[in-house]
A and B are shown apart, each in its own frame.
Chain A
Amino acid sequence: MSWVNVGDEKNLPQGTGIAAWVAGKAVAIFNLGKDGLFALENTDPVTGVGVLARGLICEMEGELCVASPIYKQHYSLTTGKCIEDANLQATPFEVKTEQGQVFVLAKG
C-alpha cells in the first residue's frame, strides 16, 4: 500500500467530485473546501458503474454524503456506508494533500 499522487490540488473542482486513477482503480475525490477532502471508490455499488464522483453532495442528518447519480442512494463520504440500505457499501479511501499535491492511499 502506498500513497499515489493523482495531481495538482487546484485541478479539484470545488464542492463536487472528480475521479482519479489510483493503481488501476477509479477513486472519486470530493473537495469540500474547509471541510476537507474525501475519497470513495468511484464505482456505484448498485450498478457497478463508475459514477460516484459525479454525484450531488448532500448533508443527511449531519452526515456528509454523496448521492449516486444513477438510483440516488446516499453514501457517507467518511465510511462509504449507504444510508438507505445497510447491505450496500462504497469503499472509502484515505486522501491527503502535501505541498499542493493530492495523494490517495492505494489499496490491494
Chain B
Amino acid sequence: MAVTKPKLVVVGNGMVGHHFIEQLCGLGLNKQFDVHVFGEEPRPAYDRVQLSKYFETGSAEPLMLTSAQDYADWGITLHLNSQVTNIDTATKTLVTAAGDEYQYDRLVLSTGSFPFVPPIQGNDRAQCLVYRTIEDLEAIQASAANSKVGVVVGGGLLGLEAANAMKQLGVKTHVVEFAPQLMPVQLNDKAGELLCSKIEELGVSVHTSKATTAIIDGESALHRMTFNDDTFLETDMIVFSAGIRPQDALARVAGINIGERGGIQIDNYCLTSAPDVYAIGECALWEQKIFGLVAPGYQMARVAASHIASAVSDVKPSAFVGADMSTKLKLLGVDVAAIGASRGFDNAQFVELSDNQTGIYKKLWLDESGQFLKGAVLVGDNSDYNRLLDLYLSQDEIAGSAVELLLAGAESEADLKDTSIVCSCHQVTKGDIVEAVKAGNHKMAEIKSCTRAASGCGGCAPLVQKIIDQTLQAEGLDFNAGICAHFDHDRQALYHLCQVEGIEDFDTLITKHGKPSEQGHTYGCDICKPAAASIFASLKNHYVLNQDKGHVQLQDTNDAFLGNIQKDGTYSIVPRVAGGEITPAKLIAMGEIAQEYDLYTKITGGQRIDMFGAKLSELPEIWKKLIDAGFETGHAYGKSLRTVKSCVGSTWCRYGVQDSVGLAIDLENRYKGLRSPHKLKFAVSGCTRECAEAQSKDIGIIASDKGWNLFVAGNGGMRPRHGDLFATDLTTEELYLYIDRILMFYVKTADKLQRTSTWMDSLEGGLAYLQSVVIDDALGLNAELEQQMNEVVAAYQCEWKTSLEQPEYLARFNEFINPDAAPESDDSGYQRIRDQRFPAIKDAGAGNIAIRDITDEQSTTNSEEVVA
C-alpha cells in the first residue's frame, strides 16, 4: 500500500530558497516530504551577490549554485518558469499562472524582493532597466551595445554594483543619488565623500542631491533626465537601482499579514500569520525589519528547516533572533565596509582616521563610556574588518585605547576567537575551520567542501586561507611552501628556476637551490625527485630514463619502469588507443599478445585496454611485439595525458553535430607525452547529450552546432567536480590555442600532484582569472606558453620505442643481476577466476577484499585452484 508523504511546497528558488532546500536535504527531510519547488525564473538558483561576474565571463554558468539534476537527485520536483499566483490558506491549496493546483501541508515563501523603480514620468521608456536577474543583465548588455552614456539611479550598494557592470560594458557611467552622499544607509558623510572621490577617479560621474523629475526625449541621446534643481542629464540607457522592496504580492493576495510598509510578517520561527506557512529571506519582515543581505536570509532558511524538522523528528527548533547587517565589499574596486551602527547615534563617542594621502577613512563608534564598539565604517582599506566585526559582535570591552584599534594594522586579522564567525553566509566559525584543518584538510578547496566556508559570497576566502596557514604553522605542519625537506621552494618556484637557469639535472638543482644533507648527500627524496623529473620533462621532454642526466634515478615507481606496478610486483601495460578507436586487426594483435603472456585484460574507463601481470623482465619483449603491431606507449604510468575519451560523434551517430572521434584522436596525438604536475584526462562529446562525460575531465569539449564548447578543470574520482565552461563556439584552431595555453599555464603554476580541479579552486580569481590569462593575455605569457607547447609536442617520443632501440637502456629491466641463480620454484602464485589469471598473494596493505568468482557460485573449486 502506498503511503502518501506530506507535501512541502517552496515558492521561490533564489539563493535563500535554495539554501532552505540544502538544509532540508541535510536533515533528510526530502525523504519524508513530497517536496515541490516553484521558481519564476527559467534557471534554478544562482548567485545574485556576484551578479556582475556575468559580464566578466559572458555566461551564467559560473553563477549557478545548483542544477535541475541536483534537485532530481534529491527527489525534489522543481518547477521552473512557474509563477504561483494564489494561495488558499484555508484549504492549503495554491494555483500557478498555468492554472495548475497543488496541495501543501507546509508552505515556505521565499519570494525575495523586487527592485524599486521610483514613480517618475517616463520610467517605462525603452532602455530603462533594473538590475536583479540574469535576464536583467542580458537586457543591460543588449542596451549597452548601442549606448554611449548610461545612468544608474541610486547610489547605494546595489546601485554601485550596477554602475560597475555598466562601466565594464564600456558605457560612460553616471550615478544619480537622491541623498547628499553615496551609500547613505551605511556610510556617514565623510566616508561617502571619500568613496565618491575614489569612484570619480575611476571615471564614473557622481551626482548627489538630485531627484529625477521626468525622463523625456533627449537631444544628444535617447533620454533626457530632468532634475528638481532644473538641471538635466542626457543618456542612452538608465538602470534603476534605488533599493529593493519585499516581494509580498502573493502573500497579500492570500490574506497573510503584511507590514505597513510591506514584507510578510514572521515570528521567531519564520512562521507567518497563516497556519504552516513560513516566509524567509528578503520577502520576510521580522520585528518591523527587512533583511536585504544573504546571510540573514540563510539564517532564516535554517530556522524554518529546523522548525519543520522538529514536527517530524526530535530536532530542536532554532529561533531567528535577528541578524547582524555588517557588510564588507569591493565596489568598483574600492574597499567599503560598515559594521553595526555605522552612521553613529546620539551621545556616541568616536575615533576617526582620515588619511587624505592614501585615501583611507575609518571611523569607530563607541558607547557613551567609550569601552564598547558599537559601529564602524571603513573606506579604502578593509583589512581591519574581521577584527572589528569580532569586537563588535562579542561586545568585549576594548583593551587599551580605542584609537589603537585604528592603527593596529592587519597582522592580527586572523587572530580571532574560535567562536568568531568567519563565513557569515554559512555561519562557519574560526573554530570550525581550525578543526577541519587539524583533521587533515590542508587545502582551501578541501576546507570549502567540508566546512562550506568561503563557498557563499567568497568574501572571506583570504581570511580562511590565513586561518589555514596559521593553524598549520601552529600544528608544526609543513605550511611553508617548500615541497619537502630538501627544498624551500614550491613546485612553481622550482619550475621557474629550472626554466630561467636552464637546469636540466637534479644534482645541479639540489646543489644550487636545495638543501643537501649534512653529509653532503644530494639524493633528495621520493617527493622532490619525481617533482623535478616532471619539471625537466615538461620543459624539455627528454627521454625519462636518460642515464647521462641522471633522469632515470628520479622517476617514481611507474615512470621508472614505464609500466604500472601492481600489488604483486608485476606491471600492467596500456598501449595508446587514441580516442578509443581501434581496428579489428590491432584488437586481434593485442589479444594474441595478452594470450601468449597470460595477461589479465580489462577495458579501462579511458576507452583502452589494460593488460595485467607482466613481469619486469617480460616488459621489453611484450612491448617489442606491441610496437611491431603498430602500437605505441599509452603513458598510463606517467603524470601526463592519459586518454581523450570520445563518443562516436557525427560520423555514425544520428544526433552528433561534430566529428568528436576525429577531434579526440587529433587532441590525443598532440598532447600525448606532455608531462604535467598530475595526470590529465580529456573527453570530447559530439553533441550536448554529452555521452563522453566531458564535463568530468580536466579538459572537456562538447560540440555545439557552431563549433566547440570548452570546459576545464572537471574531475571524477574522490572529489568529483564539474568542469567550468571556459569558452563557447570555438573554432578548432581557437580550441587548440586555448588548450595549449591552459595546459602550459597549469604546468607552469600548479603544485606537485595537483589536479586541474584543485588548481582551479586554488587560483585566486578562479575561472575569470584563467580566462583573462588565456583569452586576454593578461600576463603577456601566451606567446611563451604556445612556443613551449610546440617544443614539447615536437620532442614527443614513444618511450618504449626509444628504450628498445638502445640495448643499454634495456638493462634496467633485468630484475636480477644473476637470474641463473634463481631457485627452481618461484613462490608467486596465481588463481584463475572467470577464465583469467589473478594474483593469489597474501592479503596486505590497502586491498583486503577477497576476490570471488560470481560467474559460477556453485563451482567452488574454480576460485580456489591455485596455479603455482
Contacts and interface: CB of A to CB of B under 8 A. Distances in A.
Contacts of B519: 62
Given A13-B812, A59-B517, A48 B841 contact: yes
Contacts of A11: 811, 817
B818 A7 contact: yes
B816 A19 contact: yes
A59 B524 contact: yes
Given A15-B550, A19-B817, A56-B529, A47 B557 contact: no
B521 interface: yes
A58 B525 CA distance: 4
Contacts of A64: 521, 523
A24 B616 CA distance: 19
Given A6-B821, A16-B553, A58 B518 contact: no
Interface in A9-62: 11-16, 18-21, 24, 26, 29, 32, 35, 44, 46-51, 53-62
A9 to B, nearest CB: 10
Nearest to A48: B842
Interface stretch (B561-569, B603-611, B739-747): B561-569
Interface residues of B, number: 42
B822 A13 contact: no
B565 A51 contact: yes
Interface in B525-558: 525-526, 529-530, 547, 550, 552-553, 555-557
A54 B616 contact: yes
Contacts of A58: 523-526, 529
A21 B844 contact: no
B101 interface: no
Contact of A20 (B555, B818, B844): B818
B568 A49 contact: yes
B818 A70 contact: no
B474 interface: no
A39 B567 CA distance: 23
Nearest to A5: B818
A19 B816 CA distance: 5
B440 interface: no
Contacts of A16: 552-553, 812
A82 interface: no
Nearest to B570: A49
Contact of A54 (B486, B561, B821, B846): B561
B565 A59 contact: no
A102 interface: yes
Nearest to A15: B553
Interface in B818-868: 818-819, 821-823, 841-842, 844-846
B553 A24 contact: no
A70 B823 contact: no
Nearest to A22: B821
B560 interface: yes
Nearest to B811: A13
Given A21-B823, A54-B560, A6 B565 contact: no
A57 B553 contact: yes
B552 A20 contact: no
A47 B817 contact: no
Contact of A21 (B523, B556, B560, B822): B822
B517 A49 contact: no
A107 interface: no
Contact of B817 (A12, A46, A49, A67): A12
Interface in A53-85: 53-62, 64, 67, 69-72, 74
Nearest to B555: A56
Contacts of B556: 56
Nearest to A6: B818
B817 A72 contact: no
B764 interface: no
Contacts of B560: 54, 56, 69
Nearest to A62: B517
A48 B821 contact: no
B653 to A, nearest CB: 43
A58 B815 CA distance: 20
B67 interface: no
Given A11-B817, A12-B817, A71 B845 contact: yes
B144 to A, nearest CB: 56
Given A6-B818, A26-B816, A59-B524, A70 B565 contact: yes
Interface in B222-276: none
Nearest to A24: B823
Contacts of B121: none
Given A12-B817, A62-B519, A71 B811 contact: no
Specify which of B486, B517, B569, B811 lies most central, judged by the most chain A CB atoms within 10 Å of its CB. B569
A21 B818 contact: yes
Contacts of A53: 815
Interface string B101-127: 000000000000000000000000000
A47 B567 contact: yes
Contacts of A56: 525-526, 529-530, 553, 555-557, 560
Nearest to A11: B817
A71 B846 contact: yes
Given A24-B823, A64-B521, A46 B845 contact: yes
A20 B526 contact: no
B814 interface: yes
A72 B526 CA distance: 9
A47 B844 contact: yes
Contacts of B553: 14-16, 56-57
B485 interface: yes
Contact of B845 (A14, A47, A55, A57): A47
Contacts of A62: 517-519, 521
Given A21-B822, A47-B567, A60 B525 contact: yes
Contacts of A61: 485, 517
B391 to A, nearest CB: 44
Interface string B559-585: 011000101110000000000000000
A45 B523 CA distance: 23
A67 B526 contact: yes
Interface in B463-494: 485-486
25 contacts: A11-B817, A13-B812, A15-B550, A16-B553, A18-B815, A19-B815, A19-B816, A20-B821, A26-B816, A29-B817, A49-B841, A54-B557, A54-B616, A56-B529, A56-B555, A56-B557, A57-B523, A57-B553, A58-B524, A60-B525, A61-B485, A62-B518, A70-B557, A70-B565, A70-B845
Interface of A: 6-7, 11-16, 18-21, 24, 26, 29, 32, 35, 44, 46-51, 53-62, 64, 67, 69-72, 74, 102
Given A14-B547, A18-B815, A44-B569, 10 more contacts: A20-B818, A46-B845, A56-B525, A58-B524, A59-B524, A60-B485, A60-B525, A64-B521, A69-B565, A70-B845
Closest 5 CB pairs of A and B: A21-B821, A58-B525, A69-B557, A49-B569, A15-B553
